[in-house]
Amino acid sequence: MFTTDIEQIPGRRTLWEQTAQRLQTLIANGTIAPGTRLTENALAKQLGVSRAPLREAIRHLMNIGLLISEPYKGVRVLELTSEGLHQLYEYRTGIEQMAFRSLWPKRSAESFADLDRRHARLLEAIDSGDSALAIDRELELHQWCYELSGNALLIDAWGRVKPHLRCYFVLHQRAHNRSGPARQSHDRYLEHAKGESLPAALDFIEAHMKQGFDQVIDHVG
C-alpha cells in the first residue's frame, strides 16, 4: 500500500491517526467550516491531545489536501469553490476511467458479486434515510473499481479524492435535504461495469460524473 489507510484497523490506531480521522470528520460534516484558520494550541486542547500528534495529523490532512498550510502563518481549511469542484470531478473522472481500463481483464463472477453486495448496501442505506451513511456507501461502491484494479497508486489517489467528495456531498445534501444521486444512475453503473463494452463503460462514467457534478455545482460559492 501507499499511505496507511486510516479507515481500517479500527482498534489499535495511533493517536495521530485517530486525530486525523476526527479532524477529517469535523471538516467533512461542516463543524469546522471551510476557510477556518486552525490554531494548534487551542485545537490540541479541544481534541485532548498534545501538539506533536496533532501536527502530524495536520501534516496528513495537508497531504490529502483538506488543509492548506502557509509556513509560520498557520493552516486553514480548504475552501469549497466551483473551480475546485470542477477540477475534482475532472480528476475523478480520469482516475475512475483509468481504474476501469485496468480492472477490465480482471473481472470475474466473484468481483461482480462483490459489486452487487456494495450496491445492495448502498440501496439499504438510501432506504434507511441515513444520508451520511448513504454517502459512505456510495463511496464504497465506487471504491470497488479501484480495489479490483489492484494498482496501489490508483487506490491511493482514490483515498485522497474521497474526503473531498464527502465534503461536497455533505454540502449538497444540506442544501437539498435529501441523499445522493438517483438509484437508477447506479443501476446503469453496475450494468456497464458488468457489461461487455469497455468504451461504453468509459463513456458512461464520463456522463455519470458530469451528472453528479451538475447536481452539486449549484450549491457551491
Site residues, DNA (CB under 7 A): 12, 14-16, 38-42, 48-53, 55-56, 69, 71-75
Place of cell 485522497: 160
Confirm if 141 and 205 have CB atoms less than 8 A apart.
no
Q: How far apart are CA 12 and CA 95, in angstroms?
A: 31
CA distances from 74 to 17, 65, 68, 176, 198 (A): 20, 15, 8, 34, 46
**Per CB under 8 A, does 145 bind a copy of itself?**
no
| In the complex, minimum distance from the CB of residue 53 to a copy of itself, in angstroms, rounded to a whole number | 10
206's contact among DNA, a copy of itself, none, with CB below 5 to 8 A by partner kind, is none
**Per CB under 8 A, does 167 bind a copy of itself?**
no
| In the complex, minimum distance from the CB of residue 30 to DNA, in angstroms, rounded to a whole number | 21
> Angle 191-192-193 (CA atoms, 0-180°, nearest 5)?
95
> Angle 11-17-20 (CA atoms, 0-180°, nearest 5)?
130
Binding positions for a copy of itself, rule: CB under 8 A: 1-4, 12-14, 16-17, 52, 55-56, 59-60, 62-65, 68-69, 71-72, 84, 87-88, 90-91, 94-95, 97-98, 101-102, 150-154, 156-157, 161
